[in-house]
Structure 1
Amino acid sequence: MAIIITFELAGVGQAQYDEAVDRLTGGAGLNRPSDWPVRGLVLHAAGPTPDGGWHVTDVWESREAFEHFAAVLMPILQEVGIPTTPPLVCEAYNVVH
C-alpha cells in the first residue's frame, strides 16, 4: 500500500533543503526517483511555505520503503540542522502519475 509522507519544517529554507539533497545524492541532485539513494519513491514535491518554512510531500510505494529511506535521511537532516520531528504519514487512497 502506497503512503503519503508530509513534512512541515518551520524555520527551514531552501539552502538547508539543497544541502540535504546534496548529501543524499553526492551532489547529483534529485530530478528523478532513480536519483534517490533508495528505491520506492513515487513522487517528491518540496517548496517554501508562506510563513518562511519548508514543506515536503512524498509518496512512497510502501511504509517499508519509506522506513528504509528514513534510516538514510534522518542523520543527514540532523547534520544540516533540519528538525527531525516525525512526519504526517497517511495511507494513499489514490495515486495518479
Structure 2
Amino acid sequence: MPVAMLLDTPEGSQDMYEALTTKIFGSLQPDVLPDGLIAHIAGPRDEGGWRVVDIWESTDAFWQFFDAKLLPAARELGQDPTEARPTFFAVHNMIGLGMPA
C-alpha cells in the first residue's frame, strides 16, 4: 500500500530546495523518478519554511532514497535533512494521479 510522506522544514527555502533537487536529479523536472516514488509536491509554508509531500510505494522505498541519494547530496550542499523528521500515513485514495495497483 502506498504511503504519503510529509516533511516540513521551517528553515527551508526555495533556493535550498532547488539546489538540492538539481544536485540529486540534474534538474527540477527529472526524466526518471527514483525507485518507488509515485508523486512529489513541494512549496512554501504559510508560516515560513518549505514543505514536501511525496507519495511512495512504501516507507522502505523512501528511506532507501533518503540514505542513498538525498542525505549525501544535502551534506555536500551543507544542508542537514536529519533535522526535520518526515511523517508518514497510509494512502487510501489518490485523485488525479491514479491509485497504483
Q: TM-score range by the shorter chain?
A: 0.7 to 0.9
Ranges in structure 1 where 5+ consecutive residues have no aligned partner: none
RMSD of aligned Cα (Å): 1.7
Secondary structure, counterpart of 1:90 in structure 2: strand
Structure-2-length-normalised TM-score:
0.79
In structure 2, C-alpha distance between the alignment counterparts of 1:68 and 1:43, rounded to whole Å? 16
Q: Residues 24 and 5 of structure 1: is their aligned pair in 2 closer, same or farther, counting only changes over 3 Å?
A: same
In structure 2, C-alpha distance between the alignment counterparts of 1:88 and 1:28, rounded to whole Å? 26
* 8 A contact 2:71–2:81 mirrored in 1: no
Q: Which moved more, 1:7-16 or 1:70-79?
A: 70-79
The answer for the alignment partner of 2:50 in structure 1 is 54
* 1:45-93, Cα deviation, whole Å (9 max, x unpaired): 1000112200100000122211211112123233332442220111112
Structure-1-length-normalised TM-score:
0.82
The answer for the alignment partner of 1:78 in structure 2 is 75
Q: What stretches of structure 1 move > 4 A for 4+ residues in a row? A: none
Aligned length: 93
Secondary structure, counterpart of 1:23 in structure 2: helix
In structure 2, C-alpha distance between the alignment counterparts of 1:82 and 1:52, rounded to whole Å? 18
The answer for the alignment partner of 1:20 in structure 2 is 20
2:60 to 57, 64, 70: 64
Ranges in structure 2 where 5+ consecutive residues have no aligned partner: none
Secondary structure, counterpart of 1:93 in structure 2: coil
